[in-house]
Chains A and B, each alone.
Chain A
Amino acid sequence: GAGVSQSPSNKVTEKGKDVELRCDPISGHTALYWYRQSLGQGLEFLIYFQGNSAPDKSGLPSDRFSAERTGGSVSTLTIQRTQQEDSAVYLCASSFRGYEQYFGPGTRLTVT
């Protein structure tokens, strides 16, 4: 079956602009995670959705970052007023009931 998909694959934006990154999880997976990978910080957790529970936002680095998950499926990560330090690869993962996680190909964000 289809894996996790993310769009766009690459995004270049100017400092101060807002961006939206999309994730389509594996069909039937109840849990969805966002991570980011940057040279200085490695792979770090951002936010986690599980079913209808309140999301775990403990990894979001600032209030410029937000995410939503509509209908228990697709998720959008929004970064407002982007800064250069937001440049990274943003990775989405999904899992069935929160165990083994499967990752998408990522969105490479470059803030100029």
Chain B
Amino acid sequence: GIQVEQSPPDLILQEGANSTLRCNFSDSVNNLQWFHQNPWGQLINLFYIPSGTKQNGRLSATTVATERYSLLYISSSQTTDSGVYFCAVGRDTDKLIFGTGTRLQVFP
């Protein structure tokens, strides 16, 4: 099956810093989503981005499907950005396969 690797596994930042999270996947996909799991466990949709670049406020994401990776950029981080960021991939309408996540802690 498809393997999904995320890096780094842990990230500690001071408020205001920028960061880049990476997701590598082992096979072709046409579904890729980024989620933020908040401290209460809710998975919040950040981006549906099987290819190309999208931006939403301080967050942006880029997926290069031909090279099998995606990047999530967080600029001017805030304490509310803390939590676990998951990348998940799939083919067509099939199930999502999740990476192991990047745990982000932002300190004031």
A residues neighboring B (CB under 8 Å): 31, 33, 35, 42-45, 48, 50, 56, 59, 89, 91, 93, 95, 97-103, 105-106, 108
Task: Determine if B66 is an interface residue (Cβ-Cβ < 8 Å).
Answer: no
A48-B94 in contact given A99-B31, A100-B48 (Cβ < 8 Å):
yes
Question: Taking the nearest CB of chain B, how far is it from the CB of A72, in angstroms?
Answer: 15
Task: Determine if B98 is an interface residue (Cβ-Cβ < 8 Å).
Answer: yes
B98 touches A43 (CB 8 A): yes
Report how far A72 CA is from B33 CA in the complex, Å.
25
B48 touches A56 (CB 8 A): no
A105-B42 in contact given A99-B48, A100-B48 (Cβ < 8 Å):
yes
B41 touches A105 (CB 8 A): yes
Q: Which A residue sits closest to B101, measured CB to CB?
A: A42
Which residue of the partner chain, among B33, B41, B100, contacts A101 with CB atoms under 8 Å?
A: B33
A56 touches B41 (CB 8 A): no
Task: Determine if B74 is an interface residue (Cβ-Cβ < 8 Å).
Answer: no
A31 touches B45 (CB 8 A): no
B93 touches A31 (CB 8 A): yes
Question: Taking the nearest CB of chain B, how far is it from the CB of A52, in angstroms?
Answer: 14
Question: Taking the nearest CB of chain B, how far is it from the CB of A2, in angstroms?
Answer: 14
